[in-house]
Amino acid sequence: MCEKRNLASPLRATLGYANALMLIIFMGYRVRKQLMIVLIVIIILALIGAGVYLAFFRQAPTCFDGIQNHNEEGVDCGGPCTFSCERLTIKDIQVSWVKFFPLNSGKYDLAAYLINPNPNFGLSKLNYTFRLFGSAGELIKEQFGESFILPNQKKYLIEGGVNISEKVAKAELFLSSVPKEEWKKINENYSLPALYVYNKQFGFLENPPGAFEVSGLIKNDSAFNFENIVVSVILLDGDRRIVGVNKTEARTILAGEDRYFLTFWPASIGEELLESLESEIQVETNLLSDDNFMRKYGVPEKFQEY
């Protein structure tokens, strides 16, 4: 009897171990199956969420999102964007000096000298304001104007015969800000059209007494017809100091044509300066405006692609 009990005990123990192992295996399978189901549900929910985001919330890459994406060369520039990354390097126009010159009868000539440090970019429209101040620092006059500036150009801005009732003690020039998108590019190899002045003459007039004039001929030696050419005249004494400024415009100058111009000062420059007086004349035209170029019958032409 004792031996039978001894044989049965190991058998029962073995069967217990087998049952326990089968239970573990079965429970492991159930856990794995449950985990698999949970994982599949998570993946399905993630796909649904991604689809909803792409369909309703995600914004497609643009050239105005402040991110360098979809093959842009820089942030929102280059590649598929029309805005060139080169425009990000555009520098402000420099104002070298601002001067004023009193005339008779409460009039003043105003002048400034600008430098465009950008070798390839210019402005076809440049708005500016001369601000004139009295001896106490009060603003007494604002004179508005519009011009242009070519790539790498150094130029004069002149406003002549401005009526000012009070005495001017100081002058400043304010340039209106321009978005970089409005700057126009000309190819690096462009050259200025052949415009120059010859047969310069200057002297005093008998009527009115003490009046002064500078005249000459503009030569358009280029292959283009221009609607408008600006002539700026700077008078210098023997020490190369500016003693007077003036400006005039010539309209519709054809290729190869000569055009007479005259600038006039109603006040005397000073007869003692006449022998040493020199003049610097700047002739320019707006190459950035297609309307400034003409063909026969008034059909516009372009200076070159930019």
pLDDT value at position 191? 78
Using an 8 Å Cβ cutoff, are 131 and 173 in contact? yes
Q: What is the pLDDT of residues 228-287, one digit of tens each?
A: 999 999 988 888 899 889 999 998 899 999 999 999 887 666 666 667 778 899 999 998
List the single range of 16-25, 162-171, 271-280, 293-302 with lowest mean pLDDT.
293-302
pLDDT value at position 269? 66
Instruction: Give whole-number Cα distances, 297 to 73, 225, 293, 301, in Å.
Output: 44, 12, 12, 11
pTM flag (> 0.85): no
Tell me, what DSSP letter sits at residue 300?
Answer: B
pLDDT value at position 300? 42
Dist. CA 201–CA 203, nearest whole Å? 7
Q: How many CA atoms lie within 13 A of 93 on its CB side?
A: 34
User: For the chain, what is the mean pLDDT?
Assistant: 81
Q: Write out the DSSP string of 126-174.
A: EEEEEEEE-TTS-EEEEEEEEEEE-TT-EEEEEEEEEE-SS---EEEEE
Give the mean pLDDT of 107-112. Answer: 94
pLDDT value at position 290? 83
pLDDT value at position 103? 84
Token pair 């405006």: residue: 289
pLDDT value at position 170? 96
Q: In the predicted model, is pLDDT for residue 155 greater than 60?
A: yes
pLDDT value at position 23? 60
Number of helices and strands in the chain (H, E): 1, 14
Q: How many CA atoms lie within 13 A of 156 on its CB side?
A: 25
Task: Name the token pair of 258.
Answer: 């000569």
Confidence of residue 297 (pLDDT cuts 50, 70, 90): very low
- 144 contact partners, CB below 8 Å, separation of at least 6: 127, 128, 129
In the chain the domains, ranked by start, together with CATH numbers, are 90-185 (2.60.40.3230), 195-298 (2.60.40.10)
Token pair 């004792």: residue: 2
Q: What angle do CA 186, 111, 208 make, to 5 degrees?
A: 125
- 78 contact partners, CB below 8 Å, separation of at least 6: 72, 84, 85
